[in-house]
Structure 1
Amino acid sequence: MKKYLIVGLGNIGSEYENTRHNIGFKILDELASLEKVQFSTEKLGDLTSFKFKGRTFFLLKPSTYMNLSGKSVKYWMEKEKITQENILVVSDDLNLDFGTFRLKTKGSAGGHNGLKDINEKLGNQNYPRFRFGVSANFSKGRQSNYVLGEWSKEENRYLPELLFKGAQLIKSFGTDGIGNTMNKFNGPLEE
C-alpha cells in the first residue's frame, strides 16, 4: 500500500487558529472532516490517517511551531517509512494572489520559515509542496503582522470553497500523480 505524508504548516494555539499563516492546518482540518477522521496528539504533532483508493494518507499538523516544522516532518517520514516524493507540505505564500494554488515538485523556501526548516532538516528542497496564496497586501515591515493576522471579510467569503478545493488537490496528488494534479489545480482563484 502506498503511503503519503501530508504536512499542513501552522502554529498551535487558539490565537493562531484563523490566521493566514495557519492555512496548512485549515486545509488538513477540512480534509479530515470530509474523511470523517479525528486528529490525535502524537509525538511532535497532531496526526490522523485515512485510506483512499488503495493509498494511506497521513495528515500531520506539527506542534513544533512554524519555524521548527522540519523536526516533526523528518520524524514522521522516518517512523512511517515514507519517501520524500510522497510527502506534500501545505503552506501559505505571500508571493501569490489570495486563493491562488501552486503545486510544485520542489523549490526554495521563498522566505517561508517553516519551509526553510524542513529544507534544513531534510538536507535538500526536493519534496512536493502546495502553496496557498495569501497575497502581499501589507505595508513595508508589516509582513509578520499580516501573516499572523486573521482573514478579511472578503477572504472569508471564499475560504470554504478554497478549503474544499485544497482537500481535493491533496487526494488527487496521491491518486492521480503530481503532474496531473498540477494541471488540474494550479492557478488563481476562480470568481
Structure 2
Amino acid sequence: MKNIKMIVGLGNSTKKFEKTRHNAGHWYINNLAKFFNISLKKKKEGEIGTILINNLKIKLFKPNSFMNLSGIPIFYIASFYKIKLNNILVVHDELDLIPGIVQFKKGYGHNGHNGLKSIINNFNQKNTAQHYFFRIRIGIGRPASSTTISNFVLSIPSSQEKLLINNSIKNNIKSTYT
C-alpha cells in the first residue's frame, strides 16, 4: 500500500445502475469510507475523500460518469493531485471470478473491461512494464445463460450473489487495512 496514493472504485454513477454488478467498485469505496468513518464529498468529477493509512494520505474516488468514460474524471483528479497511474489502485467488477472472490492484481491490460480501457486510453499508456497499475478485482461471475455480457453486468445480482460479493468486499477491507 505504500505506493498507493488513490483508490478508485469503478461503476456507473446514476441511481438506475446503483445496485448492478457493474457497480462493485463503488460498493468497495462505500465500504472503505465506512470502515475509515469518513464521508465522501460530492464534486463535479465524482465523490472523493481522504483516508490515512500508516501516516499516508490516500484519496478515495468514485467517478461521476458511466463506466465506459470513467478514465476522464480519474485522469482529471489524478492530474490535479499529481498522482501517476502506477500509484492508483483501481477496484472493479470481474467476470472471470465467481461471486465471493476478490483478487489483487498488478498489470497493464484491460482484459476487455471498458472502464479499464477508458483509464488506459486517458492516461495514454502503452502496454509496457513501466506503465502498470494495481487492481482489486471483485468477482461477479459470468452469465449462465445466453444473456449478453452488457445485460449481465447491468443487472442486479441475486440475493445470494450480493451476499457473497458484500462479504468478500468487507473481508478484503478488514484483512487489507487492519
Aligned to 1:158: 164
**How far apart in 1 are the matches of 2:162 and 2:134?**
27
Matched, 1:39 2:40: yes
> In 1, are the aligned partners of 2:97 and 2:138 still within 8 Å (CA)?
yes
**How far apart in 2 are the matches of 1:48 and 1:41?**
9
**How far apart in 2 are the matches of 1:71 and 1:93?**
21
**CA deviation vs aligned residue, 1:105-130 (integer Å, no higher than 9, x gap):** 11321111100110111122521111
**How far apart in 2 are the matches of 1:10 and 1:106?**
20
**CA deviation vs aligned residue, 1:18-74 (integer Å, no higher than 9, x gap):** 111000000100010111111111131111111121111111100021111111111
Amino acid of the structure 1 residue aligned with 2:166: P
Matched, 1:130 2:136: yes
Matched, 1:142 2:148: yes
Question: After alignment, is 66-75 or 100-109 more displaced?
Answer: 100-109
Percent identical: 31
Structure 1 residues 123 and 171 mapped into 2: Cα distance closer, same or farther (>3 Å)?
farther
TM-score (structure 1 length as normaliser): 0.82
RMSD: 2.0
**How far apart in 2 are the matches of 1:160 and 1:104?**
19
Structure 2 portions without partners, runs of 5+: none
TM-score (structure 2 length as normaliser): 0.87
> In 1, are the aligned partners of 2:139 and 2:165 still within 8 Å (CA)?
no
Structure 1 portions without partners, runs of 5+: 173-191
**CA deviation vs aligned residue, 1:56-106 (integer Å, no higher than 9, x gap):** 111110002111111111111111112322200001111122222221111
**How far apart in 2 are the matches of 1:15 and 1:42?**
20
Matched, 1:66 2:67: yes
What is the correspondence of 1:163-174 to structure 2 with a 5 Å cutoff? 163-168=169-174, 171=177
Deviation at 1:160, TM superposition (A): 3.4
Aligned to 2:28: 27
**How far apart in 1 are the matches of 2:69 and 2:58?**
22
Question: After alignment, is 29-38 or 1-10 more displaced?
Answer: 1-10
Amino acid of the structure 1 residue aligned with 2:93: D
Aligned to 2:120: 119
**How far apart in 2 are the matches of 1:43 and 1:170?**
30
Question: After alignment, is 94-103 or 3-12 more displaced?
Answer: 94-103
